[in-house]
Protein backbone atom coordinates (compact mmCIF):
# COMPACT_ATOMS: atom_id res chain seq x y z
CA UNK A 1 0.00 0.00 0.00
CA UNK A 2 2.77 2.44 0.96
CA UNK A 3 4.61 1.80 -2.33
CA UNK A 4 1.49 2.76 -4.26
CA UNK A 5 1.11 6.01 -2.33
CA UNK A 6 4.78 6.88 -2.85
CA UNK A 7 4.40 6.20 -6.58
CA UNK A 8 1.28 8.33 -6.74
CA UNK A 9 3.06 11.19 -4.98
CA UNK A 10 5.98 10.96 -7.41
CA UNK A 11 3.61 11.16 -10.37
CA UNK A 12 1.84 14.24 -8.98
CA UNK A 13 4.99 16.26 -8.20
CA UNK A 14 5.99 16.82 -11.87
CA UNK A 15 2.41 17.73 -12.79
CA UNK A 16 2.29 20.25 -9.94
CA UNK A 17 5.69 21.64 -10.96
CA UNK A 18 4.36 22.35 -14.46
CA UNK A 19 1.62 24.44 -12.81
CA UNK A 20 4.21 26.25 -10.60
CA UNK A 21 2.95 24.46 -7.45
CA UNK A 22 5.64 23.48 -4.95
CA UNK A 23 5.59 21.43 -1.77
CA UNK A 24 6.51 23.17 1.51
CA UNK A 25 8.49 20.80 3.74
CA UNK A 26 10.36 22.79 6.38
CA UNK A 27 13.18 21.06 8.25
CA UNK A 28 14.14 21.13 11.92
CA UNK A 29 15.91 24.39 12.70
CA UNK A 30 14.28 26.34 9.85
CA UNK A 31 12.80 29.73 10.65
CA UNK A 32 9.07 29.80 11.39
CA UNK A 33 7.36 31.82 8.64
CA UNK A 34 3.77 32.68 9.58
CA UNK A 35 2.83 33.16 5.92
CA UNK A 36 4.05 29.62 5.05
CA UNK A 37 3.67 27.64 8.30
CA UNK A 38 0.95 27.00 10.86
CA UNK A 39 2.24 26.21 14.36
CA UNK A 40 0.01 23.64 16.03
CA UNK A 41 2.25 22.80 18.98
CA UNK A 42 5.29 23.96 20.94
CA UNK A 43 8.00 21.61 22.20
CA UNK A 44 10.89 22.15 24.58
CA UNK A 45 14.14 21.46 22.76
CA UNK A 46 17.82 21.73 23.67
CA UNK A 47 18.92 21.31 20.04
CA UNK A 48 16.57 23.79 18.31
CA UNK A 49 16.51 27.50 19.17
CA UNK A 50 13.34 29.06 20.53
CA UNK A 51 10.92 30.04 17.77
CA UNK A 52 12.47 27.70 15.18
CA UNK A 53 10.74 24.67 13.69
CA UNK A 54 11.24 21.39 15.57
CA UNK A 55 9.43 19.17 13.04
CA UNK A 56 7.04 19.29 10.13
CA UNK A 57 3.82 17.38 10.81
CA UNK A 58 2.18 17.91 7.40
CA UNK A 59 3.68 19.40 4.28
CA UNK A 60 2.09 22.41 2.67
CA UNK A 61 1.81 23.81 -0.85
CA UNK A 62 2.60 27.12 -2.53
CA UNK A 63 2.21 28.61 -5.98
CA UNK A 64 4.70 31.38 -6.60
CA UNK A 65 4.43 33.73 -3.59
CA UNK A 66 0.95 32.49 -2.64
CA UNK A 67 0.50 29.84 0.05
CA UNK A 68 -2.15 27.32 -0.98
CA UNK A 69 -1.96 25.25 2.22
CA UNK A 70 0.43 26.08 5.09
CA UNK A 71 2.73 23.39 6.44
CA UNK A 72 1.72 22.23 9.94
CA UNK A 73 4.71 22.48 12.24
CA UNK A 74 5.83 22.15 15.84
CA UNK A 75 7.89 25.10 17.10
CA UNK A 76 10.57 25.12 19.81
CA UNK A 77 9.63 26.76 23.09
CA UNK A 78 13.26 26.80 24.24
CA UNK A 79 15.42 24.71 26.54
CA UNK A 80 14.05 21.41 27.78
CA UNK A 81 15.72 21.85 31.18
Q: What pLDDT is recorded for position 81? A: 66
Domains in the chain with CATH codes: 22-78 (2.30.22.10)
- Could you tell me the CA-to-CA distances from 8 to 13, 14, 72 in Å, in that order? 9, 11, 22
- Mark the ranges of the chain whose per-residue pLDDT is less than 70: 1, 81
For the four alpha carbons of 42, 40, 50 and 45, in that order, the dihedral sign comes to positive
Q: Compute the distance between CA of residue 15 and CA of residue 47 in angstroms, rounded to an integer.
A: 37
Q: What is the pLDDT of residue 16?
A: 84
Amino acid sequence: MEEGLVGLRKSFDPAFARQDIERLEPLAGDAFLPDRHEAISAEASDSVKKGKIVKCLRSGWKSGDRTLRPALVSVSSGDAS
